[in-house]
Amino acid sequence: MKDHQVAALINDLRDIAIKYHGFGCLRGFIRDRLMPDIDSLRAQLAEANRKLQEEELLNLLAIMFDAYENGTDCYEDPEECGGYLGKAVMLDDETFHQIADILNERLAALSSKGEENG
């Protein structure tokens, strides 16, 4: 919220307080005035949080990609280099736990959405 918006909100609240003082409905008028701004701030916060999570996910994916790209080749028979299995990926504990936490949060969110829709 910008400074001029805060000033306008404060002025509106002052005007409401003066106009409806003693009528017993002051809280309702203040709530009605504040709710659109509160809802807007909630939406802005949710969007900022979503963008931050997306950036974090992209950074973790980049770490995973680099770890895979630079990983050691793994074989069923290492001496003969036969039966290629893929790459060994080495992650530090902090990165591993960040990835695990995000996966658990996202899977839980998907699961709860499925239960709501099911």
How far apart, in whole angstroms, are the C-alpha atoms of residue 36 and residue 55?
A: 29
Q: Helix H segments across 1-118?
A: 3-20, 26-69, 93-117
Whether residues 91 and 49 fall in one domain: no
Whether residues 115 and 80 fall in one domain: yes
Q: Is there a domain that residue 88 lies in?
A: yes
Whether residues 16 and 45 fall in one domain: yes
Q: Is there a domain that residue 60 lies in?
A: no
What pLDDT sits at residue 118? 63
What pLDDT sits at residue 117? 74
Convert the pLDDT of each residue in 48-105 to its tens digit: 988 988 898 888 889 988 988 888 999 998 888 889 998 888 889 999 898 899 889 8
What pLDDT sits at residue 102? 87
Q: Is there a domain that residue 76 lies in?
A: yes
Q: Is there a domain that residue 58 lies in?
A: no
- The CA–CA distances, whole Å, from 52 to 42, 47, 60, 71, 99 equal 15, 9, 12, 28, 15
Structural domain total, the chain? 2
Q: Is there a domain that residue 43 lies in?
A: yes
Convert the pLDDT of each residue in 18-57 to its tens digit: 999 888 889 999 999 999 999 999 999 999 988 988 898 8
Domain that holds residue 105: 71-118
What pLDDT sits at residue 28? 93
